Chains A and B, each alone.
Chain A
Amino acid sequence: MMCAEELGAYGLRSLGIGERLLPRSDITLCDQFVLIGSGMIWNVYFGVLALAAGFFLATLLALGKAASSAWIRKPADWFVFLFRGSPLFIQFFLAYEAFVRLPDSIGVGLFGAEGADLGWLTRAYAGALVVLFFNTSAYAGEIFYGALLSVPKGDLEAADAYGLTGFTRFRRIVWPTMLRLAWPAYTNEAIFLFHATTLVFFSGFPAWRQQGDALYYASYFADKTFNPFIPYPIVALYFIVLTLIVISLFSAAGRRLNRHLPSSDRPRRPRAIGQLVR
């Protein structure tokens, strides 16, 4: 099998399993492919968890932005503005600095005299995930809000005619239509969230024991070999594959959301254009 030895040594290196030292000299193509692939575990981890959790907060934010009460609307507006209006890069820096201070200031007050150990928030796996979760919620919340406003009036009138009210009306009429309308844009958001996960180890969060993501290892190799023409195309390749998987999963979900429509009314396959750095 190709690269079997390297796969054993570095396949799970990004999780701290396997060889302790990274390859330093005589770096082979196998080393690069395996170690960068191992780093992809983190990109997938951040992307999947932030997206899954962010989906629910995004729905709440969209409803909050559409609420008639200013007490609900304003906080939702500000949350979305805060995370969409500033660079993710700065958000990471700021969150890290805040989390570093957290244990000895707020932690003590919140969790009694001895204070809970909140040090794990300074580690990327938790701290960066929190930031990505808030960030994608804000972006997706704005997308869902736009879709919420474009839910056809006829659908709502039909719901009223059937006597649907409150949560039932939301769950059976408003929410599915909102998702259907938002889906192409939401697919984009998912793709660019996965791309944004590469920023984690380049911003405030240090890589603990050299356990980093794909780009972290790629830049490690680029530094060691002073040759950018191999590691970066490898990352690119991995990400193209990841993007294609995301697109196919989301189009499958999109087909399900649109299955009641005649085929001519269905939206075209989503194209990944839009956000890049956030």
Chain B
Amino acid sequence: MFEYCSDPSALDGARWLSCYLTNGVHLRFYSSFGTVLLLLAITAPLALAFGFLGAAASRSGVAPLRWSGKTYTSMVRGVPDIVFFLFFVIALDQAFEWTRHQALCPGWDAPIRQGAEFNVCPEAKLPRSSSPQAWHEAYNFSLAIVTFAIVFGAFAANVLYGAMRAVPRAQMETAAAYGMTERQAFRRILVPQMWVYALPGLSNLWMILIKATPLLFLLGVEDIVYWAREIGGSKTSAFSYPHPDWRIWYFSGLLVFYLIFTKISEIVLARLTARLSAGQATAEGERLRRAAPAGPAA
């Protein structure tokens, strides 16, 4: 990074530190924070969509659809989520490969599961063993995203289902009285009104999602935890920057990162709640109305 960094062994003090903190692995460490943010940016809307579908299915009049919705929403209640994380990563991978196997290799007659092996034909392997390393990483990352979206979608479905039930019945009855069909009332009345009821639950979910990102490490993605362990471990003099075991400092850094991140989220979400609650027939809306100065709305 800096010119004087060419010979690290000759440096000491602040110069050594400045070179150390800007060497190649550290730059990869810093960019892995981007990986975490990317995961959050993709997972959050995806999980919300899954949750919306799950909640809508739970309310459906069609019995099989309702059952599948209910199963989906209740699956996360009794079972630790980390079980799902570990399960889905392998299960999805095998499901994709199995599907591709059926499609690409119709003539293959050897059994796929032989004892402890899972053998699909070479064409069905995901990603192909000949593909570059970047594809392997991208594949792992997308498996992680889908897994996160499924698990958090189930939680979001719980929240949204509750929110849909919290919309006052009179609103839906009025919609029916105006001659709206059930579908119209759902789209025009229920969905726009449910968000304020869903917000506390969704805020909670967002905080949980942030705190779940270290699990990426368990799913085999090179995230911040991975790099903190890699770089922090003691380095012998064979490395250009030898140092003892510094993992405790790296993990302290991660701790501070998460504390700041959750604190900022908390502040932003509190403001959002205040804004959405304005004019709503809820306790918070009432509090805001009373706090506002009398007279016409500003």
Q: Chain A interface (Cβ within 8 Å of chain B)?
A: 25, 81-82, 84-91, 93-94, 97-98, 101, 194-196, 198-199, 202, 215, 218-219, 222, 224-229, 232, 235-236, 239-240, 243-244, 271-278
A228 touches B86 (CB 8 A): yes
Q: How far in angstroms is the closest Cβ of chain B from A87?
A: 4
> Interface centre among A85, A101, A218, A239, by most B CB within 10 Å?
A85
Is there contact, CB below 8 Å, between B251 and A90? yes
Per DSSP, chain A at the interface is helix
Contact of A277 among B159, B162, B208 (CB under 8 A): B208
**Chain B residues near A (Cβ < 8 Å):** 76-83, 86-87, 90-91, 94, 113, 115-118, 151, 155, 158-159, 162, 201, 204, 208, 210-215, 217-218, 225, 245, 247-248, 251-252, 254-255, 258-259, 262-263
Nearest chain B CB to A277's CB is how many angstroms away? 4
B134 to chain A, nearest CB (A): 25
Secondary structure of the B contact surface, majority rule: helix
**Could you tell me the distance between the alpha carbons of A97 and B246 in the complex, rounded to whole angstroms?**
9
Residues in B neighbouring A81, C-beta threshold 8 A: 259, 263
How many Å lie between the Cα of A46 and that of B64 in the bound state?
A: 39
The 8 Å CB contact of B83, one of A90, A94, A215, is A215
Q: In the bound complex, do residue B155 and residue A228 qualify as a contact, i.e. CB atoms below 8 Å apart?
A: no
Q: Output the nearest chain B residue to A91 by Cβ-Cβ distance.
A: B255
Residues of B within 8 A of A225 (CB): 115-116
Contact in complex: A275, B208 (CB < 8 Å): yes
Chain A residue with the shortest CB-CB distance to B212:
A277
Asked, given contacts A89-B215, A94-B252, A202-B218, whether A229 binds B79 with beta carbons under 8 Å apart, the answer is: no
What is the bound-complex CA distance between A227 and B87, given in angstroms? Answer: 9
Closest-CB distance, A129 to chain B (whole angstroms):
18
Closest 10 CB pairs of A and B: A195-B80, A240-B78, A232-B87, A277-B212, A97-B248, A87-B211, A89-B214, A243-B78, A228-B90, A85-B262
Given contacts A97-B247, A274-B204, A277-B211, 17 further A-B contacts (CB under 8 A): A81-B263, A85-B259, A86-B258, A87-B214, A88-B211, A89-B217, A89-B225, A94-B248, A94-B251, A215-B83, A215-B86, A226-B117, A228-B90, A235-B80, A272-B78, A273-B159, A277-B81
B218 contacts across to A, CB distance below 8 A? 202
Residue from B86, B201, B213, B258 in contact with A85 in the complex, judged by beta carbons closer than 8 Å: B258
A87 in contact with B213 given A226-B118, A243-B77, A273-B155 (CB within 8 Å): yes
Give the distance in Å from the alpha carbon of A202 to the alpha carbon of B214 in the complex. 11
